[in-house]
Amino acid sequence: MFALLIDVTRCVGCGACVAACCEANGLPLEEGADLGPYHYTVVRKVRTRRGEVYYRLLCMHCLDPACASVCPIGALKKRPDGPVTYNASICMGCRYCVQACPFEVPRYEWNSRAPKLGKCSFCAERLQHGQVTACAEACPTGATLCGERNELLKVARERIAAEPGKYLPKIYGEREVGGTSVLYISHVPFRTLGLPEHLPLEPLPGYTGRALSQIPPLVGSAGIVLAGLWWLTDRKAEVARAERETRSGGRR
């Protein structure tokens, strides 16, 4: 399984990862942009007692993702090789994934009549062709590495052991919510980087599964109801569009 290792101590804030991500995904390059439907990764700067610290944020690609577990039609899926992928063609815009993600990553096109999700795809197609992610390839300092998860965990442990005074004795993402495919090592507290601490070590779908098991009738009908609402909304939009075209034609 592929993963990313982000070493905050090596990030210089150059933004090469952001530029490479935008180019690989055909997204607009905007300085200072936050994570959003058109910005899959961002570089941030925070002032600490150690000075200015740069870090980047993106989808964590959880090993057992909560977003995929709550998606009623499977628009989000975890691939065996690491990425959590998104199929916009079947997404019905329920936004359950937005509520479920412990890292607050999925973002929607709120200004669109048919909003779609925007998030890091982990360069899934590049991985299929034996390439590393665009961001890792572009990083000039080795702050972002792409490789097998177990190997990157080994690299992280070696760096921490070699310089214990430099790093916190923790690999963020190794065990949080069952583990993630994006790992961090840092010299400043992870909460300073906007990463939530005190998350459960158990995968979040385990919690949702226990809760949903208490209401089986609702669970069984939820997908049908949501699908019906999506069809009705889409149908109403089609009818309204046809009516506008008819009126427009009558005025000619």
pLDDT of 100 reads 92
pLDDT of 229 reads 47
Q: 3.40.50.1950, 3.40.50.80, 3.40.50.300, 3.30.70.20: which CATH number matches 2-204?
A: 3.30.70.20
pLDDT value at 187 more than 70: yes
pLDDT of 215 reads 47
Percent of the chain surpassing pLDDT 90: 66
pLDDT of 107 reads 87
Confidence of residue 249 (pLDDT cuts 50, 70, 90): low
Average predicted confidence (pLDDT) for the chain: 86
C-alpha 226/C-alpha 70 separation (Å) is 12
* Mean pLDDT score, 96-124: 88
pLDDT of 132 reads 97
pLDDT value at 161 more than 90: yes
* Mean pLDDT score, 107-126: 87
pLDDT value at 162 more than 50: yes
The domain locations on the chain are 2-204, 215-251
pLDDT of 103 reads 95
- The answer to which of 33-47, 56-70, 128-142, 205-219 has the lowest mean pLDDT is 205-219
pLDDT of 232 reads 45
pLDDT of 208 reads 58
The residue ranking higher by pLDDT, 220 or 194, is: 194
Tens digits of residue pLDDT in 47-102: 998 789 999 999 999 999 999 999 999 999 999 999 999 999 999 888 899 989 99
Tens digits of residue pLDDT in 7-61: 999 999 999 999 999 999 999 998 777 898 899 999 999 999 878 999 999 999 9
